[in-house]
Copies of this chain bind each other. A is one copy, B any other.
Amino acid sequence: MAIWDDVVPLSDREKYGKYTKLANIGMGRKPAVVVVDMTESFIDDRYSTGCGELARDAVRATGKLLDHARKLNVPRIFATWDPGLLPEEIGFWKCQRPQPVTMAVKSNLPDPLSLPSELGRQDNEPVLLRGKPSAFFGTNLAGTLTYYGTDTVIVAGISTSGCVRATVIDAFSLNYRVIVPEECVADRVIVPHKVNLFDMQMKYADVLPLDQVIALLEVNAPATPSK
């Protein structure tokens, strides 16, 4: 049973499967992992944008994914918000900026842009700053992937219905194979989380259990340095 089955009715699900079989895309030989906005402002629910326990689970799962990627020399890239943007760069976001949910919690909050230690980010792993949902927009992500020779983008991060989805659409549009490890993404809102996973699986990406992604990495990824 898929995670979206209690939300997307059979009549909708059948629409995609009725006339042709929906096969998975599969992983290529040069995967890379892109982790979007897995920063405290989207994790810690003392921030208005935090996803709380669901995000902590996703952080742990992503830490595990990154450990395997490091062992296999699969490139890892992080994308986070650029805190220095002016209003004319930010544009017309409707979402609130991250803020403490109460004044009381304010003094104990972690840096909103810090990456949790479970991710184990290393100095040679790029952190791309940006101001739009997709990790590709207004960044050198496409060129960085070209440099690595990437053919498959594994997308983890927060939130499923926001920056993960936008990054998946762009990776797909640039003709990468796209994989979303289900446990490595999180959202504050449950129904959009599930429906966006459904949308991505039906259109642009393989939404897979983390264990299966790791098994694919072991088989497909180079044992030798990717560069």
Contact = CB atoms under 8 A, between A and B. Distances in A.
Interface of A: 7-9, 11-12, 15-16, 18-20, 22-23, 25, 30, 48, 75, 85-89, 91-96, 99, 101, 124, 126, 128, 131-134, 137-140, 142-151, 161-162, 166, 169, 172-178, 188-192, 195-196, 198-199, 201-205, 227
A143 B91 contact: yes
A94 B202 contact: yes
Contacts of A99: 19-20
Which of A15, A126, A191 has the most chain B CB atoms closer than 10 A to its own CB? A191
Contact of A16 (B95, B134, B178): B95
B8 A96 contact: no
A10 to B, nearest CB: 11
A7 B192 CA distance: 10
A179 B65 CA distance: 37
Given A9-B191, A146-B151, A203 B169 contact: no
Contacts of A12: 188-192
A169 B166 contact: yes
Nearest to A202: B94
5 contacts: A20-B99, A93-B203, A161-B199, A169-B169, A196-B199
A48 B20 contact: yes
Contacts of A176: 92, 146
B191 A95 contact: no
A28 to B, nearest CB: 8
A88 B147 contact: yes
A89 B143 contact: yes
A146 B176 CA distance: 7
Which of A99, A144, A145 has the most chain B CB atoms closer than 10 A to its own CB? A144
Nearest to A151: B149
A49 to B, nearest CB: 9
A193 to B, nearest CB: 9
Contacts of A133: 169, 172-173, 203-204
